[in-house]
A and B are shown apart, each in its own frame.
Chain A
Amino acid sequence: MLLNPLLWLHLRITGSARTNVLIVTAYAATIILFASISFYVAALNVPPRDRIAVFAQMNGIWLVIVTVAQGVFLLLLGPSAVRRAVQRDFDTGMLDSHRLSPMSNLKIVLGYLTGAPIQALLLYAVSLVFGTYFAASYAASPGLGGALGVRATLGGWFFAQGCMLVLAAMFAALILLTALATRGKANVVGILALIGVFGGWFAIVFVPGLALVLGVLSGGVLLGLLTSAKIGGDALTIVYAGALQFTLCLMFVTAACGKLRKPEHPLFSLPLGLTLLIVWGIALLAGMHAAPEYDWLFGEWREYRFAQLVASTIAFMLVALLPLAAAAINLFHRDRAASFGERPVARARLLLLAPLLAALTAMCLDLMLRAVGPEQLSRAAREALLHRSVWAGIAAALLLSFWTDFHCLYSLKALMRRPIIAFLIVLATLKGAPLALDGVIKFCVEEVAERNWTGEGYLTGLSPIGTLMLTPRAGTAVWVGLVVQLAVAIGATALARRVHRRLGKHRVTQDS
Chain B
Amino acid sequence: MAEALLSIENLRVQYGQLVAVDGLSCELHAGHLLGLIGPNGAGKTTTLRAAAGLQPLTTGRVWLLGHDVFKDATIVNQHLGFTPDTPALYDTLSVEQFLWFIAKCYGLTEGLASERIDHWLENLWLAERKQSKVSALSRGMKQRLAVARTLLPDPHIVLMDEPAAGLDPAGRVEFRKLLASLRDQGKAIIVSSHILADLAEYCTHIAIMGHGRLLKYGTVAEVAGAESQERAQYRIVLARRVGDLAARLQDLQADEAVSHLEFDAGLITLEYDRDRQAAAELLRKLIAAGLPVAEFHTVSPNLEQAYLRTGIRQVD
Residues A96 and B75 in contact, CB atoms below 8 Å apart: no
Q: Which of A3, A104, A337, A416 contacts B74 (CB 8 A)?
A: A104
Residue A512, interface by CB 8 Å: no
CA distance A100 to B81 in the complex (A): 8
Residues B56 and A100 in contact, CB atoms below 8 Å apart: no
Residues B77 and A100 in contact, CB atoms below 8 Å apart: yes
Query: What B residues does A417 contact at CB under 8 A?
Result: 15-16
Identify which of A4-12, A118-126, A134-142, A194-202 touches chain B.
A4-12
Of all chain A residues, which has the CB nearest B89?
A: A92
CA distance A417 to B56 in the complex (A): 13
Query: What B residues does A45 contact at CB under 8 A?
Result: none
Q: How large is the interface on B (under 10, 10 to 19, 20 to 34, 35 or more residues)?
A: 35 or more
Of all chain B residues, which has the CB nearest A418?
A: B16
Shortest Cβ distance from B145 into chain A, in angstroms?
12
Identify which of B103-111, B118-126, B305-313 touches chain A.
B103-111
Q: How large is the interface on A (under 10, 10 to 19, 20 to 34, 35 or more residues)?
A: 20 to 34
Of all chain B residues, which has the CB nearest A415?
A: B16
Interface flags, A83-120, vs B, CB<8A=1, else 0: 00000000011101111111110000000000000000
Give me the 9 closest cross-chain CB pairs, A-B, nearest first.
Answer: A93-B88, A5-B104, A264-B56, A101-B105, A102-B77, A340-B59, A102-B78, A13-B92, A5-B105
Residues A262 and B56 in contact, CB atoms below 8 Å apart: yes
Of all chain A residues, which has the CB nearest B74?
A: A102
Residues B97 and A337 in contact, CB atoms below 8 Å apart: no
Query: What B residues does A264 contact at CB under 8 A?
Result: 56
Shortest Cβ distance from A357 into chain B, in angstroms?
27
Query: What A residues does B105 contact at CB under 8 A?
Result: 5, 97-98, 101-103
CA distance A336 to B60 in the complex (A): 12
Shortest Cβ distance from A209 into chain B, in angstroms?
35
Given A5-B101, A103-B105, A337-B59: A92 and B12 interface contact (C-beta under 8 Å): no
- Majority secondary structure of chain A interface residues (helix, strand, loop or mixed): helix
Shortest Cβ distance from B191 into chain A, in angstroms?
17
Residue B82, interface by CB 8 Å: yes
Greatest chain B CB density within 10 A among A262, A340, A342 is at: A340
Residues of chain A from 256 to 272 with CB closer than 8 A to chain B in the complex: 261-264
Query: What B residues does A340 contact at CB under 8 A?
Result: 12, 58-59
Query: What A residues does B156 contact at CB under 8 A?
Result: none
Residue A454, interface by CB 8 Å: no
Q: Which of B16, B73, B90 contacts A13 (CB 8 A)?
A: B90
Of all chain A residues, which has the CB nearest B149?
A: A97
Residues B16 and A510 in contact, CB atoms below 8 Å apart: no
Residue A455, interface by CB 8 Å: no
CB<8 Å pairs between A and B, sample of 14: A8-B104, A9-B90, A13-B90, A92-B90, A94-B89, A97-B88, A97-B149, A98-B105, A100-B54, A100-B77, A104-B74, A262-B70, A340-B59, A416-B16
Residue A341, interface by CB 8 Å: yes
Interface flags, A230-270, vs B, CB<8A=1, else 0: 00000000000000000000000000000001111000000
Residues of chain A from 131 to 149 with CB closer than 8 A to chain B in the complex: none
Residues A261 and B14 in contact, CB atoms below 8 Å apart: no
Query: What B residues does A100 contact at CB under 8 A?
Result: 52-54, 77, 80-82
Of all chain B residues, which has the CB nearest A94?
A: B88
Shortest Cβ distance from B149 into chain A, in angstroms?
7
